[in-house]
Structure 1
Amino acid sequence: MTQSIRWLQDEIADRMLQKLDIVKMQVKDVLVIPDFSGRHAHFLAKRFPGIRFHSAPESDLSAWERLKLKVSRLWSSGFKVAPTVSLASYQKTGRLDLPNNSVDLVFSVLLIQDLPDPKHFLQECWRVLKEGGLLTLSYLGPDTAKELYMAGDTPQQIALKKLANPWDMHDMGDALLGERFSDPVMDMEFLKLDYESDAVLLADAKALKMIESGIESPFFGDKLPKKLTLEVVYGHAWVIGKHLAKAEDHVAYIDLNQIQRKTRSDSA
């Protein structure tokens, strides 16, 4: 996301936090991915006193913006130091820079639509979450900016792009269950954006990565739509029974560490 769409990240984060109000859990370590300047950190720190932020800043932030974000997260957490997580490194290597079982909460705002392999992201979230941890997420669904794809509405100069991840909420619910998350809850809503200016609509469409970024012309007559629809998908799911047997192809595999040998002293 770019600065022009920052308001949307803030708005969706607020809605995610409202859904989190009914959740009862103890949180000491949270991964915010991607992290950005907004109100969410203040509300998370208020909701979970003593929280420690593992921040994964957006990849396009400047060095100065990253420093400000780091200082802000330290302040919000009462100066509890936590390592910064590199989103760019994850996108390159497919691995989050965190140990296994290291966070209680993963808070992901509008990221998954840009990932070519969201299932792998879920696997990494499962890996870094502790037993009893929670993944809460939001992303743009496949009907986002559908007005741009209507035949005859879009000028030939605009190169349209599809979302890297076209999952709807049912796809995500199935994937969460497939990756061993428990009790997934999915929700979806449509947000309608109205525009008086072609330039503003194009700026938002670029920020949403729905069109190529090289478009400069500010005026297309009546060919551009005057509104965009955003399909916003929300979901959360728990990590429960993380160390129990895992079933594959109807065969249960048990971690050797779960097997306890009975010794003479045990039976004495």
Structure 2
Amino acid sequence: MEQFLLPSVAQRFDRVAGKLAEQADLPEDIAARLMSRLSFIKHKPAVVLDIGCGTGALSKAIHALYPEAKIIGADISSKSLATYPYGSQCAAATVLPFPDHYADLLVSNLMLPWCNDLSGVFSEMWRVLKVGGVCLFSSFGPDTLIELREAWAKVDDKPHVHVHWDMHDVGDRLLSAGFEDPVMDVERVSLQYTSLPAMFNELKQLGWTNLHVDRQKGLMGKAKWQAFQTALGVPPYTVSLELVFGHGVKAEQKTEAPNEFTFSLEALRNTLRR
């Protein structure tokens, strides 16, 4: 079942497009972590695609690293693209408006959590990359906002926090799409808030709020909200982000059966701790 309706995702990010610059520290920090994984690329890409580019924080970092590269962004939010500083196309990641074998490098920062069809997205990324081109991305893992999910589970059975793919599922789909030598790893970040309004205000301005198709519609009752507060405990409130990073190289042709993917020692330790 689909978690999201794409028009709802587009509307949400259209609504917060003007506020993203005010809340840029966290996405820019995650983008910097993603950029640190570019060190293995030895050649200078001529064409770079930034899928889910938003207002352009990651693209600016790419431009600083590869000033001669042609950078093009794609995003489902037209209002985000209004201030994007490079060429852009308004499009969903499952139907990219670029020709086959077009880009040398494709990057994507926190776009995958808003996709219903991960396999379809990776297939499109594979299509638009040149042979030998690199796909580099970040996403959220299943422990993201786990504190909120567990607190809400004590209140009702409605989805309040999105479900995210784990690192192994993402790696499997990357392989199935035809990428060679995929590497996956995980980092964990803890955020602290002194109050619930501060927490939900930041999540809202980042666009990271509940869009699940089965979410509760309309206003929430006071009793249910108080039950959630009780389940969450007393401030300061700590919430977790499980950051999943991955990259793969476009093979000359798709393989019939997936092989294995590599993940970092730290990712293995994190898995064994669960």
Q: Which runs of 5+ in 1 are unaligned?
A: 74-81, 251-268
Matched to 1:172, the amino acid is V
* Alpha-carbon distance change, 199 to 215 in structure 1, aligned in 2, over 3 angstroms: farther
Contact 2:52–2:108 (Cα < 8 Å) also in 1: yes
Written as runs of structure 1 = structure 2, the 5 A alignment for 1:178-197 is: 178-197=176-195
**TM-score, normalisation: structure 2:** 0.72
Please tell me whether residue 236 in structure 1 is matched to residue 247 in structure 2. yes
Superimposed CA distance per residue, residues 186-226 of structure 1 (whole angstroms, 9 cap, x where no aligned partner):
11011101110211222344432347696689985544451
Paired residue secondary structure (1:85): strand
Report deviation, 1:95. 1.2
Tell me which moved more, 21-30 or 113-122: 21-30
Contact 1:132–1:240 (Cα < 8 Å) also in 2: yes
**TM-score, normalisation: structure 1:** 0.73
Q: 1:43 aligns with which of 61, 84, 105?
A: 61
Distance 1:148 1:99 in 2: 42
Partner residue in 2 for 1:18: 36
Matched to 2:25, the amino acid is W
Report deviation, 1:9. 1.7
Distance 1:231 1:214 in 2: 29
Contact 1:32–1:54 (Cα < 8 Å) also in 2: yes
Partner residue in 1 for 2:107: 107
Report deviation, 1:117. 0.8
Paired residue secondary structure (2:32): helix
Contact 1:130–1:239 (Cα < 8 Å) also in 2: yes
More helix by share: 2
Q: Size of the alignment, in residue pairs?
A: 227
Contact 2:144–2:240 (Cα < 8 Å) also in 1: yes
* Alpha-carbon distance change, 247 to 126 in structure 1, aligned in 2, over 3 angstroms: closer
Distance 1:50 1:162 in 2: 38
Report deviation, 1:58. 5.0
Partner residue in 2 for 1:53: 71
Distance 2:257 2:82 in 1: 48
Distance 2:142 2:152 in 1: 20
Contact 2:145–2:161 (Cα < 8 Å) also in 1: no
Report deviation, 1:172. 1.3
Higher relative contact order (CA 8 A, sep 6+): 2
Paired residue secondary structure (2:137): strand
Root-mean-square deviation (Å): 3.0
Matched to 1:176, the amino acid is L
Paired residue secondary structure (2:184): strand
Contact 1:10–1:38 (Cα < 8 Å) also in 2: no
Paired residue secondary structure (1:209): coil
Q: Percent identity at matched positions?
A: 29
Q: 2:90 aligns with which of 86, 92, 96?
A: 86
Superimposed CA distance per residue, residues 90-144 of structure 1 (whole angstroms, 9 cap, x where no aligned partner):
26xx311111111111110101111111010000000000011000000011111
Written as runs of structure 1 = structure 2, the 5 A alignment for 1:1-268 is: 2=16, 3=20, 5-59=23-77, 62=79, 66-69=81-84, 72-73=85-86, 82=87, 84-87=88-91, 90=92, 94-151=94-151, 160-163=160-163, 166-206=164-204, 207-210=207-210, 220=226, 222-224=230-232, 226-242=237-253, 246=254, 248=256
Partner residue in 1 for 2:5: none
Distance 1:143 1:125 in 2: 26
Structure of greater Rg: 1
Matched to 2:99, the amino acid is P
Report deviation, 1:66. 3.0
Paired residue secondary structure (2:52): strand
